[in-house]
Amino acid sequence: MLVDGRSLTAALDPAKSRLPSDRERAFLQTLCYGTLRWYFRLDLILQQLLRKPFNKKDLDIYVLALLGLYQIAYTRVKPYAAVAETVAAAEHKKWAKPFLNAVLRSYLRGREEFDKIVDRDDEGRTGHPLWLLRELQHCWPDHADAMCAANNTQAPMVLRVNRKRCGREDYIGLLRAADLEAFPVQCNPEAVQLVDAVDVDRLPGFHEGLVSVQDCAAQFAARLIDAQAGHRVLDACAAPGGKTAHILEVSPSLDELVALDINPERAVKITRNLDRLGLRATVLTGDLLDPSAWWDGRGFNRILLDLPCSATGVIRRHPDIKVLRRPEDIEALSETQRNLLEAAWSMLAPRGLLVYSTCSVLAQENHEQIARFMESHQEVREIPIESHWGIRCPRGRQILPGESGMDGFYYARLSRDR
């Protein structure tokens, strides 16, 4: 991914499939996620240990050095084992074995001093690229350090119980019977958090549609959209279908729910998720910016617009965001969001409600976006979100990463008066 810009998930899944045991797959995932989570700190440590930078052709050895440093600094792997295994992995380049051995042992000998030096650097201290750290400090000056700390933790595994099929307390009982410890999350009536994450195959009734994996912050969308019997609803950027399914679970007797996604492969995932849960929707592949190709012209009473964004609220789940995202991406994403909001708004029926959401924590993508939109549309009325969760913004409401264990999410509710 450092070469071709692929996401960690896309890069890691093929490698995991080649490993023979769950234990090896789990260890590989831990190494990759952890190294990327602390990439900027580990890179600064490594620079102190090098006499000259790596050549591009030796990126593999650079990555091995980072993996070795991560194991020494952040895991319970015995230091001698971390060094030995890292060195052994360089078998294909004989010169690299003594090099890695020397680098890692140098860190072991002077670890305390190296760490002190890195702690004086903002990137090294927080594990975040400087541009992103400055954005967080600008948008959330009183919360930036806490947000960085939350981003550097492992996210919990949260479930959404399908209450059409099973009560929450009943499902917690099923988990206990399967030797899985869990507790209800108070801010959402369907949310259950596992003490330890597990593969979905171990979840009782998962394949039968009793439960889905969905962070608590994402579960607010279905309630905020307030879909009622007889309503026509559009989930405008629906894949992989978690919010689509939740709307159907809590809002019976809809006239129709249209789940739209521009990517055909991702649209297939919507159908698969709905089939697993025993739910039905009109799943379409289409571009929100080209409604003539898929829209019949009938207005929607409710629209959920969960937009593509910087994903800066879910870094703890996707630490590669810190490495892959660039400052210039934010303006491009903001423009895309602006265009998609305009398109969705044109499909909203009079007196309809649109819920705007992102998993970003940046003002440019969130409350500033809504403020600009309202300035240019006199028929827009914001419906304030009154709640115990999140922080009230000039427009909408922001959940910061780590609040009650949740991911970072932004929501705003907009009503069309005419």
The catalytic residues are 359
The one-letter code for the residue type at 129 is: P
Residues 6+ apart with CB under 8 A from 88: 97
Helix, strand or coil for residue 183? strand
Cis before 53 (ω within 30): no
Residue with tokens 């630490």: 319
The one-letter code for the residue type at 338 is: R
In this structure, the strands spanning 191-194 and 182-184 are antiparallel
Phi then psi for residue 321, to 5 deg, are -60, -40
CA gap 71, 77 in Å, rounded: 6
Residues 6+ apart with CB under 8 A from 27: none
CA gap 86, 45 in Å, rounded: 17
CA angle 208, 212, 218 (to 5 degrees): 160
